[in-house]
Amino acid sequence: MATFDKIKGISVASNFKLQAETPLDGRLVVDTIADRDALVTEHGAYEGMTVYVKADRKSYRLKGTTNDDWTDEEEVDVEIDGEAIPEADGTEIGYRFIVAGGGQSDPAVEWCKKENGQTTYGSDTGFYFRLNSSTGAFESGFDDTFLGKFTRTTDAKNNVMVKVPKYFIKEEFVGVYQYVWFCEVQKEGYRPAEFLVRPDGTIADYVLVGAYEMGNLSPGRSISGAAYSDDNMTYMKGYTRAQYRTEAKKNGAGYGLRTVALTCDLFQKLMTLEFGTRDTQKYAAGICGLIDGPHDEYYPELAYRTGMTDNVPNLNGLYHLTDKSPDGDSYNYNKQTGLNCGANPFVWRGFENPYGCLEEYDDGLNFHDGEAYVTNVQAAMADDTTEGYEKLSYPVYSGYGYIISQGYDPEHPWASLPTYADDYAASMTYYTDYWEGPNSSGYCASSVGGFFYNYNYVGVFARYAYYRSTNCGSNVGSRLFYLPPSETA
């Protein structure tokens, strides 16, 4: 019993105070792998036990009854619905940019990385991003980060979804810079991406987000009237936000519409990170330059169907449908041609048309008398109300124009909305996307992204906040979202 002879724990007496520099159970911290294995051979271990080994500074869990069953806790792949979520990486990656008023209006951001105690910037991070003009593929230095772990999956309702694994965010303001950091593990100052947080405060290991904009019921579907995410479907359009919400929830518990937290913490922040600019249209204009919508004489095969980008390599890039951009339309200022002409759909990390094609309602954001209220609780999401919502600490901009600055509320850092915009500013500065503020009286909902003939009014930051709850325009759709319920629910 040599191993147990050298194990020392703390002394225990009645009414003891648990304050010591050694563990209460001395088996839980050992010197070497040999000591760890001796716990099994000397009958001092149990299934599920976790032991820290000082020699290699790692924890091991016993997932059986023999020494072959020890598993490195830092290399465990968690299986969810039969699919593995890769191990987490403690590297911190992010970007920084000079805020409005700091003397720079360039929409570009500078990449940052913290690894092994060193911080690097720009090209020294090893990151890159470019559009292959021949294939339409995005060539990215982020494939080996957590972005490369986004995968398409089919849920129990046969929806094609993107599985987004857990990650954490930290935002800092240092001098003229705003920093936005991401990490797969929760380090000091980091918060979980808000859309992962359940009402009971627990954090989901993943969420599912529609790979496509919501489509109508198609043959073989079992739930009458429900909204789906699948290829070769007709886009749902002409509904109010409340109707989209109802149709989405028909898929079951945990389902709803994409939320403002998803818009800000996923699409806006992560596309800015990978593209290296807030002007994401520099690489992906999206479907935004069509005169009469996606059924024009130039590209009849668009025809309002999902799945146009399914053959794009790695589901990350543009689908080269046409070289022609329509002309003669008052909204089509640039009249571009070629791959990124405003007529080609695109897919980013498995998400088809994250902006353009149709605007998308996001839920959890209501405006009342010109002020913004937010919630991340699905059960509280409803139109024409502030009950269950919380007011943002900053005033949103009441006018319209190209976005110059976004607000930051420390209590709701996942809800970043425009605080100033300028209709006369060049569309290629700051955030480069368009904002139309809420009405000064009554309730309003909002949509994001822009639609098929908005052109310069389209982008990942674009938002239109003046819609009344009765709006059911044919230019607005939405996207499915699924938050797995808590295991204790």
Helix (H) or strand (E) holding 205: none
Q: Which of 8-12, 65-69, 142-146 has the highest mean pLDDT?
A: 142-146
Distance CA 47, CA 344 (A): 55
Please report the pLDDT score of residue 324 as a whole number.
Answer: 57
Identity at 155, one-letter amino acid code: D
Q: Residue 292: which pLDDT band, with cuts at 50, 70 and 90?
A: low
| 3-state SS assignment for residue 66 | coil
Gap between the Cα atoms of 164 and 206, Å rounded: 5
Are 37 and 123 found together in one domain? no
Say what the pLDDT of residue 221 is: 46
Number of domains the chain contains? 2
Tokens representing 67?
Answer: 């020494």
Q: Quick one: pLDDT band at residue 10, thresholds 50, 70, 90?
A: very low
44 and 134, same domain (yes or no): no
pLDDT of 12 over the 60 cut:
no
pLDDT in tens, 318-372: 987 765 555 434 334 444 566 777 778 899 999 999 998 889 999 999 999 999 9
122 in the same domain as 10 = no
Say if residue 231's pLDDT is above 90.
no
Query: What stretches of 341-411 adopt beta strand conformation (E)?
Result: 346-348, 351-352, 359-361, 365-368, 371-374, 390-391, 400-406
Indicate the residue among 76, 102, 130 that finishes a domain.
Answer: 76
343 within some domain: no
Q: Which residue has the higher pLDDT, 456 or 173?
A: 173
- Residue whose entry in the numeric block shows the structure tokens 């929409």: 107
Check residues 457 and 464 and name the one with the higher pLDDT: 464
0.85 surpassed by pTM: no
Q: Of the residues 76, 106, 130, which one is the last residue of a structural domain?
A: 76
> Considering the domain boundaries, does residue 293 fall inside one?
no
Task: Identify whether 288 is part of a domain.
Answer: no
More confident residue, 486 or 182: 182
Model pLDDT, residue 77: 39
Is residue 299 included in any domain, yes or no? no
What average pLDDT score do residues 239-258 get? 93
Given a cut of 60, is residue 4 above it in pLDDT? no
For residues 47 and 136, state if they share a domain. no
Distances (CA, A) of 266 to 84, 138, 196, 342, 460: 21, 18, 11, 23, 10
Is residue 33, in this structure, part of any structural domain at all? yes
**Average pLDDT of the residues in 298-320:** 76
Average pLDDT over residues 234-253: 89
> For 472-482, how does the pLDDT look when each residue is reduced to its tens digit (9 = 90+)?
888 899 999 99
The chain-wide mean pLDDT, for the chain, equals: 84
In a domain, 195, yes or no: yes
For residue 61, CA distances in Å to 51, 79, 107, 421 come to 6, 16, 47, 54
User: Which tokens is 146 given?
Assistant: 């957590």
Q: How many whole angstroms from its chain centre is CA 405?
A: 21
- pLDDT band per the 50, 70, 90 thresholds, residue 35: confident
Q: Give residue 87's pLDDT.
A: 60
Computed from CA positions of residues 220, 225, 231, 237, in that sequence, does the dihedral angle turn out positive or negative?
positive
310 lies in some domain: no
Cβ atoms of 236 and 244 closer than 8 Å: yes
pLDDT, position 328: 39
Residues found in the chain: 489
Domain around 65: 2-76
More confident residue, 229 or 16: 229
Q: How far apart are CA 172 and CA 410, in angstroms?
A: 11
- Do 194 and 62 belong together in one domain? no
* pLDDT class of 168 with cuts at 50, 70, 90: very high
pLDDT class for 90, splitting at 50, 70, 90?
confident
Predicted confidence at residue 181, as pLDDT, reads 98
Q: What is the mean pLDDT of residues 412-428?
A: 87
Mean pLDDT along residues 393-413: 95
Mean pLDDT of 161-184: 96
Helix ranges restricted to H, 237-385: 241-249, 260-262, 269-275
Do 43 and 121 belong to one domain?
no
Mean pLDDT of 259-271: 98
Q: Does residue 259 share a domain with residue 210?
A: yes
365 and 436, same domain (yes or no): yes
Question: Is the domain of 55 the same as that of 102?
Answer: no
Question: Which of 46, 76, 106 is the endpoint of a domain?
Answer: 76
Summarize pLDDT for 447-458 with one digit per residue, the tens. Answer: 999 887 777 788
The pLDDT confidence band at residue 261, using thresholds 50, 70 and 90, is very high
Q: Do residues 416 and 268 lie in contact, with contact meaning Cβ atoms separated by under 8 Å?
A: yes
| Tokens, residue 65 | 């009854």
Q: Residues 385-389: what's their mean pLDDT?
A: 97
| Per-residue confidence (pLDDT) for residue 127, from 0 to 100 | 97
pLDDT value at residue 291: 60
Domain match, 135 and 268 both: yes
CA dihedral (192, 180, 83, 151) positive or negative: positive
Confidence of residue 433 (pLDDT cuts 50, 70, 90): very high
Residue, of 377 and 343, whose pLDDT is higher:
377
Whether 331 is covered by a domain: the verdict is: no
Quickly list DSSP for 235-247.
Answer: BP-S--HHHHHHH
* One domain for residues 409 and 383: yes
Q: Which of 52, 2, 59 is nearest to 31 (CA)?
A: 52
What's the rounded Cα separation, in Å, for the pair 372 and 397?
10
| 51 in the same domain as 103 | no
Angle at 434 between CA 374 and CA 270, to 5 degrees: 65
pLDDT for res 210:
96
